[in-house]
Amino acid sequence: MVRNIQYRLSLKEEGQPGMLLKKVAKHLGQDEKDITIKVLRKSIDARKPSIYFNYKLEIYIREKPSEKPDYTFDYKDVSKAKEIHIIGFGPAGMWAALRCLELGYKPIVLERGTKVQERRRDLKAINQDHLVNEDSNYCFGEGGAGTYSDGKLYTRSLKRGDVRKIFESLVYHGATEQILVDAHPHIGTNKLPKIVQNIREKIIEHGGEIHFNTRVTDFTVKNNKITAIQLQNGNEMIANRVILATGHSARDIYYLLNDKKIALKAKSFAMGVRVEHPQHIIDSIQYHCKGDRNSLLPAASYSLVEQVKNRGVYSFCMCPGGFIVPAATAPGEVVVNGMSPSKRNNLYANSGIVVEINAEEDLYKFEKFGVLKGLEYQKSLERLAFTAGGRSQVAPSQRLTDFVEGNLSTDLNPTSYQPGLKSSPLHSLLPKAIGSRLRGGFKAFGEKMRGYYTAEANIVGVESRTSSPVNIPRNEKLEHPEIEGLFPCGEGGGYAGGIVSAAMDGERCAEAAIAGL
């Protein structure tokens, strides 16, 4: 007999081994030795001073649950199969390639950056030497921006594909099974590189190809149909099915398509700053505690949203126990992002706090750039941050309270941001459309989370790569409406917003590309 039942344990009960089994047995009137529990979902409810752990369970009485996963992955030998070309090897490109293997087609992946291990040298260069490699950085290279993020797997895109399949695929390639249970699953920046390597090896093992250090510079289009791909090294690849999964920061692709008069659309997006608190402050607010949090509790996170002057101001990519990293993809710009290791045990909590930018109403000064106006707006703020930080990867920063009150910070709090911070008047440097709304948002967040609005927090600029400012249109067949054989995909096309949604979109685009063969 199997039951699907909800249970909850108090913090004290959670700390007692076997307590969940005891509660289940007592509730069902069964002997503990006759019961096997399978946890389907686990979450923490800390909304009140009393903290509870919520469990969703399958309960087996005098029988054992199946050990078989919900999904099996039947990857075929595709070494002699028809080819699908995939540009970009981030989450969208990886799962497009894996889906090709399942369907019996040969993925040929073209990635502008390096293998995951080699990327570490370029990350060290940007952190320590302030040198930005335009093809290998926190955004570009094997695994894309997802590899050296912290692997947040939460998504609201439940109607876009099979979320469970993506999770089980991650487990199949080396992720912990805990991601199948946690309400807000997360892998960790220290664990992702190995998973990405395993995916690469699986693709190659089954006859797929992955070409690193291979930047695409042009497409050959004849009679509105893609026929070939031009590479930076001067080579050409004949291709008639191309999945374009280049990510939200591949600006050269947007310029290329625009120059070739291939239809694009300006898209709304969001920009702002990173805010960094000592983790113990967020713990004390969320867990209603003084001093260190209980060892059973993970580093606390938060999610905040407020309407200010008819625009949303909200937290984005919140990283408990994490660190801020330099995410620039070209010299002359400063971009910040955040991530966490698997244990989320760093001393700081950081989150993007961003403002909605309406592409139709807020970019009137950039209208001369047409569909690329949002991209140029992004670039203008990134250049401003570069100049304000001292023309290196040092980032402009301000104490949170000084930013809101319009004061220059005489000193700054310690930070996790390795290139370093420079006190700058971000309250006057940021455009009013962003700065004034951020100030209103921070005040409102301080009301919602008592203790959040504090001089012990820094804001760091700029958080500008939340999503693509450009949409590459596609029709109901997921194909560009003007160019036969071109399938815009993932975050770069404007169709995803994270690892899971990008992976699901990659699978769908692979199916769509194959359907026409």
What is the length of the chain?
517
pLDDT at 158 exceeding the cut of 70: no
Instruction: Work out the percent of the chain whose per-residue pLDDT is above 90.
Output: 92
Q: What is the pLDDT of residues 41-75, one digit of tens each?
A: 999 999 988 999 999 999 999 999 888 888 999 99
Those residues with Cβ within 8 angstroms of residue 409's Cβ, 6 or more apart along the chain or in another chain: 397, 398, 399, 402, 423
Q: Tell me if 340 sits within 8 A of 361, measured CB to CB.
A: no
Strand partners, 423: 397
Q: How do residues 275-301 score in pLDDT, each as one tens digit?
A: 999 999 999 999 999 889 999 999 999
Domains of the chain, CATH where assigned: 2-61 (3.30.70.2700), 83-264+470-515 (3.50.50.60), 268-364+375-463 (no CATH)
Q: How do residues 426-438 score in pLDDT, each as one tens digit?
A: 999 999 999 999 9
Summarize the confidence of residues 146-166 as an average pLDDT.
Answer: 79
Question: Which strands sit side by side in the sheet containing 486-488, from one edge to the other?
Answer: 209-211, 106-110, 83-87, 242-244, 486-488
Antiparallel, parallel or unpaired: β 236-238 and 209-211: unpaired
Please report the DSSP string for 285-314 in residue order.
HHHT-SSSPPTTSPPP----EEEETTEEEE
Instruction: Identify the weakest region by mean pLDDT among 208-212, 392-396, 434-438, 495-499.
Output: 495-499
pLDDT (tens digit per residue) in 348-366: 999 999 999 999 999 999 9
> Regarding predicted confidence, which is higher, 251 or 291?
251
pLDDT digits (tens, 9 = 90+) for 306-316: 999 999 999 99
Query: Is 233's pLDDT higher than 70?
Result: yes
Residues 6+ apart with CB under 8 A from 178: 185
The per-residue pLDDT for range 379-417, each reduced to its tens digit, is: 999 999 999 999 999 999 999 999 999 999 999 999 999
CA quadruple 474, 476, 481, 484: dihedral sign = positive
Local structure of 491: helix, strand or coil: helix
pLDDT score at 148: 82
- Quick check: helix, strand or coil at residue 266? strand
- CA quadruple 207, 213, 219, 220: dihedral sign: negative
Nearest to 460 by CA among 369, 296, 306, 349: 349
Residue 333 has pLDDT above 90, yes or no: yes
Token representation of residue 433: 């459309």
Q: Contact, 260 vs 343, CB < 8 A?
A: no
pLDDT value of residue 157: 62
Q: What mean pLDDT, rounded, does the chain reach?
A: 95
429: left (phi over 0), alpha (psi -120 to 50) or beta: alpha
The CA angle 499-130-377, to the nearest 5 degrees, is 60
Integer CA distances (angstroms), 73 to 100, 168, 453, in order: 12, 9, 48
345, two tokens:
């045990």
Distance CA 150, CA 272 (A): 20
Indicate if the pLDDT at residue 1 is higher than 80. no
- E-strand spans in 62-186? 83-87, 106-110
> Shortest CA distance to 438 belongs to which of 407, 463, 465, 404?
404
Please give the pLDDT value at position 160: 66
The label of the residue with tokens 């004061």 reads 407
**Cα-to-chain-centroid distance, residue 456:** 27
* 3-state SS assignment for residue 469: coil
Q: How far apart are CA 502 and CA 248, in angstroms?
A: 11
